Amino acid sequence: MTPPTWNEYRDLFADQSDRIWLNHAGVSPISKPVAEAVAAHAQDVLENGAANVIDWYGQLKKIKRLASKLLNCDPKDLAVTPNTTHGINLVANGLRWSKGDQVILCTKEYPANVYPWWAQQSKGVELVWVEPDEEGRLPVDLYEEKITDKTRILTVSHVQFASGYRHDLERLGKICKEAGILFFVDAIQSFSVFPIDIRGWNIDGLTTGSHKWLLGPTGIALFYTTPELRDRMETTYVGADAVVNALDYLDYRFELLADGRRFENAMLNFAGVAGLNAALWVVDSFGRDRIEEGVRQASDRMLDLLQKLGFQNHSSRAEGEWSGILSLSHPKTPPEKIAGALKKDKIITSIRDGRLRVSPHAYHTEEAWKKVEKGFSKALS
């Protein structure tokens, strides 16, 4: 099957003659295949109730097959969960902690990858914080020097939500393995754009929602654990679907499924499942590597435009560290004023860490780029 052309890929998204979305690090627009899949599921339930429930569950296998190709993992080690935070909580609350155990994380993490670990302090867990360097970067050395004989787990966002800094997961995984500690990754700001090699990078656990760079629906996510991590977790958040012989409802046996399905413990958001399956299909059809190149070109183009307009860039553009997220400031105009003016022109950005955050995707049209250039110039006038 011939992969779609760039024009065919762009045609999968809504006409950008009206609203231009430059906040894919937030909640993103969905593609037409995703919208059609969600609508088709709703129509199915309208007409048939749960008569086709077996087909709904069948989509989970498709999702795991497609996702495992992007993550280089065994599909059996994946679960479909409600959101990114759910996966972090499963690990944070599932580990059997001892007083004095340490969790390493950075001071610029999104709260979803802070509070689940923070809550474990009531069990005697200590949080060990990594500060970015003077350039806002988070090189591996800063994490490595925090590891002690009390370290239990190191947790990072693959791409940081505010600065856009992309961690070197391969090196982090290597030092974690050598130190005998767990390595956990929040991949919501990178999944479907950048390569992730779970097997090769010694990642013990990973979670990622659908609604950012994957361009899928909210309320649906992927959660990965190695068999070894599952064995070390206490699984107390369970339901009818988490156990062996789940359909024999009155034969109560607390025998958890061995694979990732143990975390799919009850009826799922199957409209979201349909949308997630479609979003993964789009990436698989077009090619993750092509999307990465498109995001690279879009973010480079955006940065070039904004620097010509006097903006200062605060995001690393070094190879292996860049992402589609740009953190910017302007010497004469506050970010709130810029974002507000852009919003009036239906150009959507955001403010994070006191700076303007701009995060374009790969599908923007030439017409959209012309409007972006005009909109930013107007916002500064």
Strand, coil or helix: 281: helix
3-state helix, strand, coil split of the chain in percent (to 5) is 40, 15, 45
The predicted pLDDT at position 3 comes to 82
A 10 A CB-CB count for 49 gives 9
The predicted pLDDT at position 1 comes to 66
User: Residues 327, 163: contact at Cβ < 8 Å?
Assistant: yes
CATH 3.40.640.10 holds for 36-284: yes
User: Residues 275, 220: contact at Cβ < 8 Å?
Assistant: yes
The whole-number average pLDDT for the span 47-61 is 97
In whole angstroms, give the CA distance from residue 381 to residue 377. Answer: 6
Strand partners, 244: none
In whole angstroms, give the CA distance from residue 278 to residue 268. Answer: 16
pLDDT tens digits for range 241-251 = 999 998 898 99
Q: Is 297 a residue whose pLDDT tops 80? A: yes
Segments making up each domain of the chain, as ranges: 6-27+287-379, 36-284
Read off the pLDDT band of 222 (50, 70, 90).
very high
- Pick the closest to residue 217 from 29, 58, 51, 349 (CA basis): 29
Average pLDDT over the chain, rounded to an integer? 97
pTM exceeds 0.95: yes
Amino acid, single-letter form, for residue 172: L
Strand partners, 153: 103, 182
- Pick the closest to residue 131 from 121, 143, 120 (CA basis): 143
**Quick one: fold of 6-27+287-379?**
Aspartate Aminotransferase, domain 1 (3.90.1150)
Percent of the chain with pLDDT over 90: 96
